[in-house]
Structure 1
Amino acid sequence: MSPVAAAPARVSLLRYSPAFVLFAIAIADVLQHSGADLWGHVLWGRELLAHGSLPRGNPYSYSAPGFLWLRHEWLSEVIMAAMFDKFGPFGLKLLKFTCTAGTICFIVLAESEAAAPALVQAVILLVVALILAPVTQFRPQLFDFIALAAIIALLTRHNWRGSAPLWIAIPIVAVWSNLHGGFFIGLVAMGVYAATTVVSDILAGRGPRRGLGIIAITAAAAASTLCTFLIPPARDTWYALIHSILNPMTRSTVADWQPLIAALTSGNSGGVAKKYFVVVLFFFAAAVVSVVLRPKGADAPLVAVAAVMLAAAFTAVRN
């Protein structure tokens, strides 16, 4: 039996309760935190807009002048600079709100494909909004959230309807690879989904054709990231990404790369960070319990994607 035939009626919060979706967006966007690099991003974006390139060395560093300047977030910085120059601080807030709203809306679309009851979708969306609130800051990572949410929404639709315009992931990843190095997470999600779909369809007697098509699209999306080699500022994306993954100091010195449990145990007792990570752990635990209590074969590709993301959170990267 195909996933399409087994799928019950779908309920979307965008139609069922758009006010609640707006409420979730407001929660996820409520904190207006700016990282130490915010004005650096704006400045470097201005440099690129003005000159079309940046010097190889960093003229703004007093401690390491002339040291190799990595620009793996060049497009994010151009967008941030353009928004700030056009609208001032409001422009940055508008950009943050747009990315946050887009992320929440893609999550709502993904939830509706799973055909869960509206109340269940609302509870999950509220918890997700609370989890997103501390991390939706004025940083290039905003584009990671919205791009990954878009890809997950595509995969969810494909899983439950049997088809979806997955080719859209190709331009998404191509643009994403110029926004931030987190684009590889989207490729991992697509690759895991494709591999699991191949295995699931073979076991179900449907053959590997559907999964092989997803693998082809994933390969095309991966190839689209090579556009970074055509854009001088973007070539550093690969160096920054590979160096960060292989450098043993990354996980110990950069908070965003620390395993979830390490971040939880090292936080101040009773602090906001620990409360935040408790909510995250509760969310993960609830997801695991729901799969264990009501396993469905049709869920296997998406469960595999979730499992890989969960493993990454507990062992390596939370960025």
Structure 2
Amino acid sequence: MTPSPAALPSSADDGGARRDYQVFRRLVIALLVVACAGPLALNVADPDLWGHVLYAEEWIADGKLPRTATHTYTAEGHPWVNHENLAELALAYGFRTLGVPGMLAAKVVLGMAILLLMSLAAQRQGVRPIAAWATFLLVSYNLHAFFPLRPQLLSFLCCAVMLFVIERAFDAWGYRRTDFTNTRRKSDNSPIEWRWLMGLPVLFVVWANSHGGFALGLVLLAAILGGRAIELVYRLGAAGVGRAMGLLGVGAACGAATLATPYGYGLHLWMKGSLGQPRPEITEWLAPQPGNPVFWPFVSLLALSIAAYAFTDRRRDAVKMVVLALVAWQAASHLRHIAFFALLCGFWLPPHLQSIAGRLRNRAVEGLPTAHLNSWMRVGIASALAGAIGLQALFLGQRIAAFPVYRSWYPVDALQWMSEQRAAGNLLVSFNWAQYALAALAPEMRVQFDGRFRTCYPQEVIDRHFDFLLGDGSPRFRSETSGPIDGARTLEIDRPDYVLVDRKYQNAVSVMANAGEAEDSEWTLVYQDAVAQVWGRRDVVDEVSSSQFVPPDRRFVSEHLSHTAVQWPALPRLKTPQPSTTGLTEVAGRGADAPAKPYNEG
């Protein structure tokens, strides 16, 4: 924060020292800004990224958006509500034009644009840059875990734009009854900048076509505008009803704008059914736990928000406090809402935190002697700050330059092996690997279930998959028509040709081991490393007459674990190059990012 005048040299001879303090302040701000970019540069490959790009590329190639499930043999003809279509197009075109490093850089720019909107809002409220960016550093660490390349990024951007617009629209909002009456008595203008609110419906058209987070955005908007409408009526009486109705009209227009999607009202009906059912199998829908990377940043931000409103000297906005409390409750219930809590804190906490910090600073410097720094100390402090900025920038550059797909996380080598065997047919694969498998093996291979979840799969298919993956050892939500939990049921009903097992899921490993050991077993293990197993149906891989017969010398079973990584999209290296129109191959140059050694590296 800016040093208090009491802490600065006051004589005319110390003008140079004052300039040095200004330099230090600017360097600290620059350090905070670069530090905020670090968490937003997360370069971990999201499991669904392969699918997002693949589906958008197929949409571009076909010229129309698929309305039924693709690349699956268990949900053929089932309606597919792709509520992330605009985000997927952005990802596909982004990789086409910018490449992998360019997309990682664009992601950081998007994140910093969100923080810049917060900074502009804080500046208009008189918050010093150091106080603002110190707050944003904690905000960025709360966003960190939610900032891989994924459609949710557009949801965060839209939410930030909405909050900024609301701040500008109510920039002149009065704090007391007399503020409202005096404003009305002096002119006919209300304390609302209506021109800012007029663009919100357009924002919600974009948001509704980008990510399902628009539903939370509508709830936030309704709560804020509804709260302001109540304040207008309470403070102005009948004179405020017209403006209150205007605010409600803006909210209604935004709600109507979300109908401008390929699905119209069908999207809302689907969301009502989908969000009305719990998802205990998906980590992001669980409550944060101490083991989660974002747990302690969230706890810190929650404690900071409570302290900010408890000890501030500024007016406490009842509407903001209620909304922040509701979102904090949702964040404490579902991991994925922590990001939205962080966004609200970034816009609403800085004025209160500066109020507290200013009071503490004034008490701390009271009675302290004037600080004098010799030239060596000034140079040393400036050099240390510049060096810290350089190290942060170096770290940021390294994050942007690499987009690793780790062999210890993903079945890079297993998919390489399957590609070499020209594996084709129906594949049962852990849902978190399924879209990577599709990018590597489609169209020859179709999957039983993937990360699209309820957007294109009936609940019974989902239940069979998680019965196989999790069994009854984890919290589950199941359809009443799915019957008792039976991990082997998907092998019997869906009859895949291959099974690609993520060995972290012990239930799936156990199911396949039992199936392989049965006296009349239909399954044989054809590939294994420390990360994955590939099982083939015996009539597919053991029969010499089969086109996919795998002789013993081409089978690979070991406990080999590689900690190396390959650049995304990490698609298999093909022995015979084949033309392709998918952006995934065009981005990577299919095979260019394949392992330098085959699956049995070392």
Fold match (TM-score > 0.5): yes
Report matched runs for 1:62-73 at 5 Å: 64-73=75-84
| Map of 2:327 onto structure 1 | 309
Are 2:299 and 1:281 aligned? yes
Runs of 4+ in 1 over 6 A off after TM superposition: 15-18
Kept in 2, the 8 Å contact 1:72–1:240? The answer is: no
Q: Is the 8 A contact 2:151 2:211 kept in 1?
A: yes
Q: CA offsets, 1:205-225, max 9 Å, x none?
A: 473444432221111111111
- Match among 14, 19, 24 for residue 30 of structure 2: 19
Match of 2:56 in 1: 45
Higher helix share: 1
Superimposed CA distance per residue, residues 47-66 of structure 1 (whole angstroms, 9 cap, x where no aligned partner): 11122324333332355555
Counterpart pick for 1:238 among 251, 268, 271: 268
- Higher alpha-carbon Rg: 2
TM (norm. structure 2) is: 0.44
For residues 336 and 115 of structure 2, the distance between their equivalents in structure 1, rounded to whole angstroms, comes to 18
Counterpart of 1:216, as a letter, is G
Partners in 1 of 2:253 and 2:302 — Cα distance?
A: 31
Q: Distance in 2 between matches of 1:18 and 1:117?
A: 10
Please report how far the alpha carbon of residue 107 of structure 1 lies from its aligned counterpart in structure 2 after TM superposition. 2.0
Q: Work out whether residues 73 and 237 of structure 1, in 8 Å CA contact, stay in contact via their aligned partners in 2.
A: no
1:1-319 aligned at under 5 Å gives the runs 19=30, 22-61=33-72, 64-162=75-173, 163-164=192-193, 165-205=196-236, 207-228=240-261, 231=262, 237-248=267-278, 250=279, 252-258=280-286, 262-265=287-290, 267=291, 273-274=292-293, 276-294=294-312, 299-316=317-334, 318-319=336-337
Deviations 1:268-289 (A, max 9, x none): xxxxx25x21111111121122
What residue identity is the alignment partner of 1:301? V
Separation in 2 of the partners of 1:212 and 1:81? 42
**Mean Cα displacement is larger for which, 218-227 or 61-70?**
61-70
Q: Report the residue type matching 2:206 in the other structure.
A: V
Kindly state the Cα deviation for residue 74 of structure 1 after the two structures are TM-superposed: 0.6
For residues 79 and 146 of structure 2, the distance between their equivalents in structure 1, rounded to whole angstroms, comes to 28
Q: Structure 2 vs 1, CA of residues 315 and 285 (structure 1 numbering), >3 Å: closer, same or farther? A: same
Query: Structure 2 regions of 5+ residues with no counterpart?
Result: 1-25, 174-191, 338-602
Richer in strand (by share): 2
Aligned length: 290
Supply the distance in 2 between the matched residues of 1:24 and 1:167 (Cα, whole angstroms).
Answer: 35
**Identity of matched residues, %:** 26
Cα deviation per residue 1:229-273 (whole Å; 9 max; x = unaligned)?
A: xx25x776435422331113x1x1122222xxx3215x3xxxxx2
Within 2, Cα distance between the matches of 1:65 and 1:295? 61
Kindly provide the CA deviation profile for residues 159-210 of structure 1, in whole angstroms up to 9, marking residues without a partner as x. 3333341222111111110000101122111111112112223343473444
In 2, Cα distance between equivalents of 1:318 and 1:124: 21
Root mean square deviation of aligned Cα: 2.7
Question: 2:411: which partner in 1?
Answer: none
Q: Please give the alpha-carbon distance, in whole angstroms, between the structure 2 residues aligned to 1:24 and 1:157.
A: 27
Change (3 A) 1:85 1:300: same
Q: Secondary structure at the match of 2:317?
A: helix
With over 3 angstroms needed to count, the CA separation of the structure-2 counterparts of 1:295 and 1:313, relative to structure 1, is farther
